[in-house]
Structure 1
């Protein structure tokens, strides 16, 4: 037997305490209907509003744009810049490409785990950091490289990490 949802999409947002974000999303979708925003631009702005793209946001976008949810989801799941899980305020990317790995990127990942108690793909309990390992950032001469937010840090040593992370409090 198919059960109908008991809450509307608006009620889901309100029940999660996301009234302000919901209104921003609705304003974005209204502007998209009037303007010339493509799906990727809409998803990018929606991710900026919520910090990630949960299913309820994807469903709302599909409803308002009158496109299948599967189309929205396929774009979200294809592009690595989109996340369907909650992310921290700052993303820490540790390069694990060959040059960085040889110069100690695994030691950096281990130290971040000690400091923040997170593994790659996880977010710290205070929602400040999301840790990712990445293959190559194209800065091999600065190995090992750590990117925090938009800031690139080269020749990082594990003992520098506590002070480096404090800069993002």
Structure 2
């Protein structure tokens, strides 16, 4: 709670700062824990349902603990046609998790995305925001 309070104090407990506070809290915790959402609700005098609804609406926010490293496999049409599914399957096998999950040691989170915007290089995998193109099972 102390960390959440420090973040809120930077913005002066102003309702219009909800998104910025959620962004800061997400950065501090690497996800948005329920305790932080409840504290934000209390301090900003916003109903919890509204804070939760805002946090759950945006894909940039995670309500579950995430790994230190985020692996995103593009499943857009161009990447899918070029073999994204076998690449995803291999990540799932190697990490022993499914897309949308985090390893028990919280080292890796595996996600799928609809498009990373680099269709000519498909299939694309982003690791911590760094793009890797033309991925194959051997590469």
TM-score by length of 1: 0.77
Higher gyration radius (CA): 1
Shift of 1:36: 9.2
Q: In the alignment, is residue 121 of structure 1 matched against residue 100 of structure 2?
A: yes
What CA deviation, in whole Å up to 9, does each residue of 1:25-69 have, x standing for no partner? 211112221789711010010011111112111000011111111
2:128 corresponds to which of 132, 139, 149:
149
Q: Is the 8 A contact 2:121 2:134 kept in 1?
A: yes
Partner of 1:38: 17
Q: In the alignment, is residue 48 of structure 1 matched against residue 27 of structure 2?
A: yes
Q: Which moved more, 1:77-86 or 1:23-32?
A: 23-32
Partner of 1:108: 87
Counterpart-to-counterpart distance in 2, 1:73 and 1:34: 17
Shift of 1:23: 2.4
User: Relative contact order (C-alpha < 8 Å, sep 6+): which is higher?
Assistant: 2
Counterpart-to-counterpart distance in 2, 1:54 and 1:36: 19
Taking a change above 3 Å as real, the CA distance of residues 87 and 117 of structure 1, as seen in their structure-2 partners, is same
Q: Is the 8 A contact 2:15 2:44 kept in 1?
A: no
Partner of 2:48: 69
Q: Which moved more, 1:36-45 or 1:98-107?
A: 36-45
What CA deviation, in whole Å up to 9, does each residue of 1:86-128 have, x standing for no partner? 1111111101111111111111111101211111110012211
- 1:159 partner SS: coil
Q: CA RMSD in A?
A: 1.6
- 2:109 partner SS: strand
Counterpart-to-counterpart distance in 2, 1:36 and 1:53: 18
Q: In the alignment, is residue 25 of structure 1 matched against residue 1 of structure 2?
A: no
Unaligned runs of 5+ residues in structure 2 are none
TM-score by length of 2: 0.93
Q: In the alignment, is residue 82 of structure 1 matched against residue 68 of structure 2?
A: no
Length, aligned pairs only = 139
2:111 corresponds to which of 132, 156, 160:
132
Shift of 1:24: 2.2
